[in-house]
Amino acid sequence: MYLLEAAVYKRTVAWSALVLHGSNAVADRLGALLGRQIEIALGDIPAQSVGLNMVVSTMLDVPFTSQWLRWPAIASAARKHTRSAPQNIVTAYECASWGYVLRYAKNCAPTAPYIVISILDLNIFGLSYWRNNSMWGDSGFGLTTIVLRCSQDDFIHCQTSKSANAFGEFCVDLRTVMTVKKDLRVCAPYFPPNIATLYDRLLPSERLLTNRNADYGHSFGSDPWIALIEHRQRGLDGPSDHYLATSIALSGYWCFAEVEIADAGRFIISEAESEDELVEAAA
């Protein structure tokens, strides 16, 4: 089972003013944001113990497609701030990308035991489409960095919808896993009540961690990790508790990973820097 050694979430504001300073300024700032947070999440873990280190994103698609942003520039900027810079970025599986990275890592059998994944969903341009959408309600923007220690019996499950009702299929698949693994508590994606009502109808909802959509919005792939951070911070986890982190993508991909929270891990939520601070740093 994956051991969650660290989960760090930082809220972000839109970078509408910073983008006017150009793509280099944005790449530098993204690298700094990623690198600094990876350092916090890693703590005392040596860089050589990290077998795979990736960034995933639902939202940062067109800036890369248009090459307004280039991954090598961000990775290069990140290296100035961390011993373990992210190696690549994955956007193809949207909110479920972190699960597909775990599946890939398991198949590659990295020689070092830790995996670092940074879930970067920052509305750089302040685009209206991403702020709010009838398909998921209000959005929450930020960066989550997780550090997982892998073992031989890690459970990672990735699935693609076969019908037009991906969310319904996701819930049914989740119910099946919850039926087999009866001791699991589940971190389900944060959705507004009109969507999350399906949880109450299809799942044993007493085993779900609280839906914090009202406070965080739908935070894309970060939702389950925010839930686990808060769970630890409130002292609600027990020594042998197991959790299922889950995410679903709008296009119909979803993932489940079974995790245990490390006793001495690092679990932090921090607020966003203001846009003025960002622009001052870029000047």
Partner 1 sequence: MIPTFSGRLRSSPYAGLPIPSISHPAVLTSEADFTAMALMARAEWAPVLLSFAQRHDLMRRIFQTIDAVLGDTLQRILLHSRVPAGGRMPAILARETVFIVSELECEIARLLSAGLSFLSIHEGFVRHPLEVGNNEVEIAWHNPPEGGAARFNLLTSELNKLGFSAPAAGGGTTSIEATH
Residue 129 engages partner 1 in binding (rule: CB under 8 A): yes
List the beta strands (DSSP E) in the chain: 2-11, 50-56, 88-90, 114-121, 132-133, 137-138, 142-149, 156-160, 184-187, 242-248, 253-270
| Among 47, 64, 76, 83, contact with partner 1 (rule: CB under 8 A) | 64
What is d(CA 95, CA 117) in angstroms, rounded to the nearest whole number? 13
Closest distance of CB 214 from partner 1, Å: 24
| Among 1, 49, 71, 268, contact with partner 1 (rule: CB under 8 A) | 71
Task: Tell me if 133 sits within 8 A of 139, measured CB to CB.
Answer: yes
Q: Residue 92 or 172: which CB sits closer to partner 1?
A: 92
Q: Residue 160 or 233: which CB sits closer to partner 1?
A: 160
Chain residues 97-116 in contact with partner 1, contact rule CB under 8 A: 100, 103-104, 107-109
Q: Residue 1 or 19: which CB sits closer to partner 1?
A: 19
State in Å, rounded, how far the first CA of the chain is from the last one.
45
Q: Residue 89 or 174: which CB sits closer to partner 1?
A: 89
Q: Residue 176 or 251: which CB sits closer to partner 1?
A: 251
What is d(CA 242, CA 226) in angstroms, rounded to the nearest whole number? 16
Task: Tell me if 261 sits within 8 A of 231, measured CB to CB.
Answer: yes
What the block records as the tokens of 264 is 């001495």
Residue 48 engages partner 1 in binding (rule: CB under 8 A): no
Q: Which of 49, 166, 72, 60 is nearest to 119 (CA)?
A: 60
Instruction: Name the one range near partner 1 by CB under 8 A: 175-183, 185-193, 204-212, 251-259.
Output: 251-259
Helix (H) or strand (E) segment spanning residue 225: helix 223-233
- Kindly list the residues in this chain that would bind partner 1 in the complex (CB under 8 A): 14, 16, 19-20, 23, 52, 58, 61-68, 71-72, 87-94, 100, 103-104, 107-109, 125-129, 158, 160-162, 166, 249, 251-253
